[in-house]
Structure 1
Amino acid sequence: MKIKESSLFIQSSSLVDFKASNGYLGRFANRKSIVFGTVHGESDPSNIFNGDEMGLFWRLHPNKTYKAKEKLVRFGKANKERFTVFVAARMIGEKLPLAIIGKSDKPRNFNSIERLNISYFFYSNAWMTSEVFLKVLNDINKIMVSQKRFIFFFVDNCSSHPDNLKLSNVTVLFLASKYH
């Protein structure tokens, strides 16, 4: 892009008729890290969150390992014992309390769960359900109401995420599925 020669009047110096060449303006922009670019609309990354659940098979042995050449390694039957963790975080780092879904109503190793910053739910197969998802979103909404914040919350489009949600401070947006 060619910059036209411009005439600048500088009061603080003795220059009355200063003419900047294209080279002068280019070097000045380079020195001051000035670039030409598109102006985008407003955005507030402090109010954009993403949430997703994952299954954690905590007793499953790895299916690959280092072994002696030509030797067969066996661990026995694969243990499918799992729990589901729902993780939600802000675009620039703030993390919301974890939600864990297990099989047991009162797991023995969670007897001090109040000290942890998590919510625990139980379901027979430890999967996310619509009821649990609604409880988690209501908890997030309560946090945002107490902080007087209005947020966008992105989640994937799956059957356990109902789409008729009416929350005061959380707007749930569904990510497009690649299968639809």
Structure 2
Amino acid sequence: KSQHKLAEMYGIGKTQVRCILKRKTEFIITFEQNEGSVRKRFHAAFCYEDVDDLTWQWFQQMCSKRTIIRGIIIQEQARKFAMALNNEGFKASNGLLNRFKARHNINCSIILGEKCSVDPVIAQDYKVRIPELTCGYKPEDVYNMDESSVIFCVLPSRTLAIHGEECANSTKSKDCITMSVCCNMDGNFETSIFTGSSKPRCFKNYVLDSLPLMLTNKKAWVTSAIFMEWVQKMRTASRHVLLFLDNSPVHPHELPHLSKSYMFLPASTSSVLQPLDQGIIQNIKMHYKKRLL
């Protein structure tokens, strides 16, 4: 389209259209460099591009090694590169760090713990085998079971308040039970285990026998004996069931079959391979906290 039509279409002057077309290549390069960023902006030219390039290469290497990186570490590394290049006027300031992060779309991320230690090759190989392992089982007969602790009286650490007023500090609850969740591929849940003290004060007005399967342990943990008791009581209705388990010490590898087959996930891969660890248990806790409030 002609410059005249572009000016009419976008409601700008022809001089502005000419300036934009003249810098077309520059704008395209800048856009590609900022692709994927939530906040698009044009970055001013950096005086120490050699230091920036070396620091960016070093940062990418550290990320590939899953090294924990903080801003102060980036500043120190940039300072070392500047000294090696004899850039005497270089200052690794907080402003320089912020501009470095903005140029390369670097954000602060939460460390995911066990997921970082999972061998991706082992995990991928096991994923490929899942159709073979579940062959011959109906979706309603393929289960996964896992345990997680629940601080059942915990309250939020933040609250809404009038500006300027201090919030009263409350004592954090340490009352804990262990929740064991078991569900199948159809999304149906089996009876859960809730492990706690023999006479929990919070349930003093309830008939314990009316609650979901509740077993006791002084430390509110699931033990091998408790797990075996649950295995014996698990409803099977004479079905051929496949149960996926992680390698927790409370899951003994020699288990009674009772029309069940057991499949243990590879060691240290449950955070990636175990279905319950892909948000199911987290959502159960989230809904519980929502109802608690």
TM-score by length of 1: 0.64
Matched, 1:120 2:210: no
Structure with greater contact order relative to length (CA < 8 Å, sep ≥ 6): 1
Once the two structures are superposed, the pairs formed by residues 61-72 of structure 1 within 5 Å of their partners are 61-69=155-163, 72=166
Residue among 174, 177, 187 paired with 1:83: 177
CA RMSD of aligned residues (A): 2.5
Residue among 136, 140, 150 paired with 1:46: 140
Cα deviation, 1:104-147, whole Å, max 9, x if unaligned, reads 24752432x3344x21111001011111011111111xx21xx1
How far off is 1:91 after superposition?
A: 0.8
Higher helix share: 2
Distance in 2, matches of 1:158 and 1:70, equals 48
Distance in 2, matches of 1:159 and 1:55, equals 16
Cα deviation, 1:64-98, whole Å, max 9, x if unaligned, reads 33344565534333221111111111110222112
Distance in 1, matches of 2:266 and 2:163, equals 45
How far off is 1:61 after superposition?
A: 2.2
Distance in 2, matches of 1:76 and 1:162, equals 41
Query: 1:178 — aligned with what?
Result: 268
| Identity rate, percent | 21
Query: 1:98 — aligned with what?
Result: 192
Cα deviation, 1:41-82, whole Å, max 9, x if unaligned, reads 745212101111121111222223334456553433322111
Distance 1:98 1:76, change over 3 A: same
Distance in 1, matches of 2:267 and 2:166, equals 40
Distance in 2, matches of 1:65 and 1:178, equals 37
How far off is 1:175 after superposition?
A: 2.2
Distance in 1, matches of 2:209 and 2:154, equals 28
Distance in 1, matches of 2:262 and 2:166, equals 49
Distance in 2, matches of 1:155 and 1:92, equals 17
Distance in 1, matches of 2:165 and 2:247, equals 44
Distance in 2, matches of 1:122 and 1:177, equals 28
Contact kept? 1:52, 1:155, Cα under 8 Å: yes
Distance 1:115 1:77, change over 3 A: closer
SS of residue in 1 equivalent to 2:219: coil
Distance in 1, matches of 2:219 and 2:180, equals 15
Distance in 1, matches of 2:260 and 2:199, equals 29
Q: Which runs of 5+ in 1 are unaligned?
A: 1-39
Matched, 1:151 2:246: no
Distance in 2, matches of 1:171 and 1:74, equals 53
Query: 1:162 — aligned with what?
Result: 252
Matched, 1:139 2:229: no
Distance in 2, matches of 1:134 and 1:45, equals 24
TM-score by length of 2: 0.41
Contact kept? 1:57, 1:83, Cα under 8 Å: yes
Distance in 2, matches of 1:104 and 1:175, equals 32
**How many aligned residue pairs are there?**
135
